[in-house]
């Protein structure tokens, strides 16, 4: 009889705290505000975690004491000040009245210029260790139409499976109608895939669907297989897989 233990994921519907085994660094104003191997992952909600740090790593020399703001039954907040660069209310310090967060502090993720896990930059929010992304080569026949005009047709898609999100179909550029794609200035970022660039689809001279195609020129290594492939927002186009028209999902995540 096997004695292997069965993994039971934590309950993320309530605040959950666990040790983060990675070196975490936050960069702002030309310096690392925090650089530690003692970070915590805290799920304030079930979608993804945030970094918290022990009070021993508090970057006191970068805190602007003049911005101290004591909230009723809440954390004490500080600005971060480096030279003439300020991140307002960027640090929240949790005291004895803050339950299981006592003795920890948080730096607002968007208040920093860059975050690193070990030596790799992390975008948008910390990576969730309970989330998985797989890219699989497929031979399904996929067709994409916009306003009745075919814009992609392939038998070599790569399918990206991401926990709790719709499957995304990535299509070789040579199987897309490149002449219908108009470059967009939009960029978005994903902690699991990297930085995405976008295209509009100009289906007809008077019908344009904006930011409906995205691609990763240099994706994170774990998703390297989608490099240079184009994905269409299933929510805004018509897609057929092996001859069967697909229902449009209701979510809006790349």
Q: Do 116 and 170 have their domain in common?
A: no
Residues 132-140 have a mean pLDDT of: 96
**Between 81 and 5, the higher pLDDT residue:** 81
Cα–Cα distance for residue pair 170/239, rounded to 1 Å: 12
* Cα 167 off chain centre by: 16
CB 71 within 8 A of CB 62: no
| Domain co-membership, 137 together with 117 | no
CATH code (residue 79):
2.170.150.40
In a domain, 250, yes or no: no
Q: Are residues 115 and 39 in the same domain?
A: yes
Q: Tell me the chain's radius of gyration from C-alpha atoms.
A: 22
115 in a structural domain: yes
User: CB count, 10 Å around CB of 189?
Assistant: 14
In tens, the pLDDT along 203-247 reads: 999 999 999 999 999 999 999 999 999 999 999 999 999 999 998
Q: Are both 99 and 189 inside the same structural domain?
A: no
Domain that holds residue 222: 133-243
Do the domain assignments include residue 127?
Answer: no
At 220, phi and psi to the nearest 5? -60, 145
From CA 236, how far away is CA 234, in angstroms rounded? Answer: 6
pLDDT tier at 71 (50, 70, 90 boundaries)? low
Would you say residue 85 has pLDDT above 90?
yes
State the total domains in the chain: 2
Alpha-carbon separation of residue 149 from 176, 180, 249 (angstroms): 12, 10, 20
Kindly state whether residue 116 falls inside one of the protein's structural domains.
yes
């Amino acid at each position: 009889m096997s004695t292997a233990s069965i993994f039971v994921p934590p309950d993320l519907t309530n605040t959950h705290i666990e040790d983060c085994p990675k070196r975490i660094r936050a960069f702002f104003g030309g310096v690392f505000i925090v650089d530690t191997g003692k970070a915590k992952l805290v799920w304030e909600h079930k979608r993804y975690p945030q970094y918290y740090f022990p009070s021993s790593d508090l970057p006191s020399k970068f805190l602007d004491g003049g911005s101290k703001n004591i909230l009723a039954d809440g954390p004490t907040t500080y600005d971060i000040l480096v030279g003439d660069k300020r991140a307002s209310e960027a640090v929240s310090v949790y005291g004895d009245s803050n339950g299981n967060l006592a003795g920890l502090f948080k730096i607002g993720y968007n208040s920093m210029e860059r975050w690193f896990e070990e030596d790799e930059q992390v975008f948008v929010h910390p990576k969730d260790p309970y989330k998985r992304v797989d890219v699989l080569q497929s031979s399904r026949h996929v067709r994409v139409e916009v306003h009745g005009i075919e814009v992609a047709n392939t038998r070599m898609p790569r399918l990206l499976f991401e926990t709790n999100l719709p499957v995304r179909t990535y299509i070789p550029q040579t199987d897309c109608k490149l002449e219908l794609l108009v470059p967009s200035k939009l960029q978005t970022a994903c902690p699991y895939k990297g930085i995405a660039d976008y295209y509009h689809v100009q289906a007809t001279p008077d019908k344009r669907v904006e930011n409906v195609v995205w691609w990763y020129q240099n994706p994170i290594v774990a998703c390297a297989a989608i490099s240079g492939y184009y994905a269409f927002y299933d929510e805004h186009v018509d897609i057929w897989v092996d001859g069967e028209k697909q229902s449009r999902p209701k979510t809006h995540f790349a």
